[in-house]
Chain A
């Protein structure tokens, strides 16, 4: 199977992803610098431009692996632009890692423009050390008939902030958004979504879930905006959180701003703890308490992961989620990348 993996040739072994997925093509962004060029990619001074021409399909899963290394400890900002021309189609995996536990500060901006009938399936996987601080601003525009499926999986990191500004600008555009954030210790995760239905006849759905342990602090702020003329809008949002410890905190604020009258919209948020009846049932079958708790957390997380259509990637992320919830990541001081 290994011949299916294509590496950017100039990247040194140290940065290589240990367990690449079959049928994936990997690109490395080391401290904001793209390594090597490719057909679709134009490296910028920091970050990159990705462009897919009209009607083109990128057949491989394109994996962009962004790593922070101790070579550049200062604050870093970079931007990536993804532009998919009319009726083009791509599957993209964005991974971000830190290679050591320095106090890395990263300010990233990702802009995505899907032109008419373009189709993008994007998975964002964030796995960084406890001292990292990483903010990502996603600025997304969908034209008529464009379809975006986006999954944000925040496995580990000191202070992770994802801000999404998604605009549906053409009729029949569709956006399916899901997210899973796991936090423990002193970690902080912020998710800010503004999803704007600016024209009639678009659909969007959002499912965000969090498993929060230790003294972690998380925030979810989700706004669905429906413009005055955006009739026949369908927009759904849900945010569910599982608090494992007494000291973990979540602030969740789902809200709607609707200026059209013929729409279907819903939003909801829940905050709960582990289910005592389920735990007892599992224990009577001989599953020890800690394992029963883990199974329940995994089940909760799986409802987000199961939305990922690439089976191999979904299984990988499921395994990583299990390792993460077993506390294996916090034992790694220099290897967050190698688990992936």
Chain B
């Protein structure tokens, strides 16, 4: 089976400071990986580098996404190829409505994949269907992207966008932060509905809590820019009770 994502010895810097110091990670289709780790260990940097943010410099290593060299692709090319990043802090875009934003995104994806653009009616139908996945009020579609949304609404909007774009690999960066229990359940259920044997998910989180809903196959602990431990889902529970110190001291 072809690997979805293959990261080999990835090093990355920002403003001359090395944050990722040799990451190795392989994700196969149908798998759910969780990446945990204390603050400042490089979790968000890894997600951002994979999505292609330009102010991070990759100094060493390789990343292959569905067989293609990911590091040579622009952020939009990565999206067209099936990569999705759920932001820890979704960006507000005043003046661009949710509906226009996602319509532009969906139709660009379709153009890139040699499919005809959706008509207005087809788009609305798809949008309503996907909004239901995260129990989102259709009234949100006419509002500015994330403008005035609560923390929970922003995260729901991320999963709604994921549902619209139907990615092969979704990286969810602290999707659980700022969520109350109900919102957490709705967001996690949304993710589970989108899960299938042909796609894969990387969940980045501080807490076991989210992993009670989205059950990972493999759990990694990231510390100081390196993966220091990889195990099954029981590792998450162990981290929850024992913290990270016992791993760091190993």
Contacts and interface: CB of A to CB of B under 8 A. Distances in A.
Contact of B93 (A281, A283, A286, A303): A281
A283 B75 contact: yes
Nearest to B92: A278
The contact size tier of chain A is 20 to 34
B166 to A, nearest CB: 11
A58 interface: no
Nearest to B85: A284
Interface in A306-321: none
Given A296-B93, A296-B96, A286 B108 contact: yes
Contacts of B165: 285-286
Given A284-B51, A284-B75, A286-B79, A299 B95 contact: yes
Nearest to B97: A299
Nearest to A288: B76
A229 B161 CA distance: 57
A251 interface: no
Contacts of A280: 51, 53-54, 75, 91
Interface string B146-176: 0000000000000001000100000000000
B43 interface: no
Interface in A288-305: 288-289, 291, 295-296, 298-300, 302-303
A88 B221 CA distance: 74
A17 interface: no
Contacts of B102: 285
A282 interface: yes
A299 B75 contact: no
A168 B171 CA distance: 58
B101 A285 contact: yes
A302 B147 CA distance: 15
A287 B91 contact: no
A45 interface: no
Interface of B: 51-54, 74-76, 78-80, 84-85, 87, 90-91, 93-96, 100-102, 104-105, 108-109, 112, 144, 161, 165
12 contacts: A280-B53, A280-B54, A282-B101, A284-B51, A284-B78, A285-B79, A285-B105, A285-B161, A286-B80, A286-B112, A291-B104, A299-B93
